[in-house]
Amino acid sequence: MAQNQRLYEYLSQHAEEISSTWYETIEETDPNSIYASTDPAVIKNLKSQNLAFNYKISRIFIDEEEVYLPILKAWAFEVTQDQEHLKTPIHYIIREFVRVRDLYISYMKDFVHINQDTVKSEEAEDLYHTLIKAFDLVIHIFIEEMYKNTSLQLQAQKDMITELSAPVIVLFHSVGLLPLIGDIDTVRAKLIMENTLNQCAKKR
C-alpha cells in the first residue's frame, strides 16, 4: 500500500503536466469534434474536465472500487451532459481516452524506473493492470452515459416531430383544423390519432 500511495502522489503531482501534454498533442481537423474547437470557453472547459479526470483516476491506487467508482461515474455523467461532447463522434472520444491512458502508462514507467530498487517487476505489472482496467471501466461508463443521453435527445426530437407533423390549429371555440401533408400509413395514422386527441385535450 505504501507503494500505491507514492504512485498516487507522483501522478497527482504530474496531473497538470499530463493534462497539458495531452491537449498540446491533440491532432484534430473534424469541425464536429470538440477537440478541434477554437472557442476559448470550450477549450477552457475541455482542459478543466481532463484535469479533473486526472486527479480522480489516480485515486484507483489508494481507494477501494466502491469508493472511486461512484466518483468516476459522477465525472462521466457530468461530461456527457456537455453538448460539445454530445456532438463529438464517439470514436474520437475513445481515441482521446486511449491517448490519456498511454500518457499515464508512460508516467508510471518513469515512476517504476525512479523506484526500481523498491518496485519489483511483478508489482509494476499489477500497477499497469490496475490502470488499464480502470480506463476500460471509465470508457464503458462513459459510452453507457453517452448512449443514455443520446437516446433521450432522439426521443425528445421524435416527440417534437410527431407533434409538429399533425398540429391542431384552433379556429374558434370547439372547432379546430388538422392539416395533413404526405402519405398516411397505419403507423402514422395511429400517431396522428393519439397526438390529435392529446392536443385537443390540452387546448380545451
Digit-by-digit pLDDT tens for the chain (204 residues) are: 688 999 999 999 999 999 999 999 999 889 989 999 999 999 999 999 999 999 999 999 999 989 999 999 999 989 988 889 988 999 999 999 999 999 999 999 999 999 988 888 888 899 999 999 999 999 999 898 888 877 877 777 777 766 666 677 777 777 777 777 777 778 777 777 777 777 777 766
Among 154, 60, 168, 158, smallest CA distance to 108 is for 60
* pTM score above 0.85: no
CB atoms within 10 A of CB 72: 20
Given this model, what pLDDT does residue 161 score?
67
C-alpha cell at 201: 385535450
Q: How far apart are the first and last CA of the chain?
A: 69
C-alpha cell at 27: 491532432
Nearest-angstrom CA–CA distance, 7 and 9: 5
Nearest-angstrom CA–CA distance, 24 and 19: 9
Say if CB 93 and CB 147 are below 8 A apart: no
Given this model, what pLDDT does residue 164 score?
63
Phi, psi of 193 (to 5 degrees): -60, -50
Contacts for 17 with CB less than 8 Å, ≥ 6 apart: none
